[in-house]
């Protein structure tokens, strides 16, 4: 068999396995979604910036106060930096986050009429917005296909043998090729939750794993 045929065959096999994995995990995690609280694309962006190196639970304790004081991009763009820093201090790295949030809000207010763009290319021009954050927004605020490569997603898809890449952009590319567009956002969500609750970094719960039969990970544990 030629190299191209072998690659095509392997890809088809991986795509079928990804489909089966999704079918199982949708039943296991029917409520899978981002754990951040938000009511608009802008709120989701601000919460996602705050979530860097911070738990979602802590961010959700801060954002009600934040959004009550600054209900939109115009208000946050005009915020006194010291007051903004004090509100978001519990999330850590608050000085840098405050600068990113205020600058992103300023650009949205002045150049986009307060509305977040709905494409990855446009979103990633904003301060503090990488591809992961952009995919979260287009997937959950705009209903577009999104592959959200966070720590959990990268770990689980690697263990499942759906990618051999370590770079998030390349992982995203590989999974977009395997998962049909209508399923990409929900695939991201359920795999993320599986990484949180089953396929943990240090002690994966392989004996409890609902997709163990679909997983080639060699270091299965009894943890």
Catalytic residues: 132, 150
Please check whether residue 190 is in contact with residue 25, taking contact to mean a CB–CB distance below 8 angstroms: yes
DSSP one-letter string for 151-166: HHHHHHHHHTTS----
Neighbours of 131 (CB within 10 A): 18
Helices (H) and strands (E) in the chain, counts: 11, 0
For 216, phi then psi, to 5°, come to -90, 5
Per-position b or e across 159-190, b if 16+ CB within 10 A of its CB: bbebbebeebeebbebbeebbeeebbbbbbbb
Secondary structure (H, E, C), 39-75:
CCHHHHHHHHHHCCCCCHHHHHHHHHHHHHHCCCHHH
* Token output for 103: 């600058």
Question: What span, in angstroms and rounded, lies between the C-alpha atoms of 207 and 211?
Answer: 10
For residue 143, is it left (φ>0), alpha (ψ between -120 and 50) or beta?
left
């Amino acid at each position: 068999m030629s190299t191209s045929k072998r690659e095509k065959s392997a890809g088809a096999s991986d795509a079928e396995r990804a489909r089966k994995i999704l079918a199982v995990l949708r039943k296991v995690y029917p409520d899978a979604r981002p754990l951040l609280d938000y009511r608009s694309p802008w709120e989701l962006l601000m919460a996602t910036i705050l979530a860097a190196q911070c738990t979602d639970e802590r961010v959700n304790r801060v954002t009600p106060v934040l959004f009550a004081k600054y209900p939109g991009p115009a208000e946050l763009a005009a915020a006194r930096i010291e007051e903004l820093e004090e509100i978001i201090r519990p999330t850590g790295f608050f000085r840098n986050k405050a600068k990113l949030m205020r600058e992103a809000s300023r650009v949205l207010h002045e150049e986009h009429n307060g509305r977040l763009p709905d494409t990855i290319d446009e979103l990633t021009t904003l301060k503090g917005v990488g591809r992961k954050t952009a995919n979260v927004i287009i997937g959950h605020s705009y209903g577009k296909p999104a592959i959200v490569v966070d720590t959990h997603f990268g770990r689980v898809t690697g263990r499942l043998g759906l990618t051999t890449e370590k770079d998030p952009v390349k992982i995203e590319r590989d999974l977009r090729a395997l998962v049909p567009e209508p399923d990409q956002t929900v695939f991201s969500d359920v795999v993320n939750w599986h990484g949180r609750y089953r396929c943990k970094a240090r002690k994966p719960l392989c004996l409890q794993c609902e997709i163990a039969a679909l997983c080639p990970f060699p270091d299965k544990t009894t943890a």
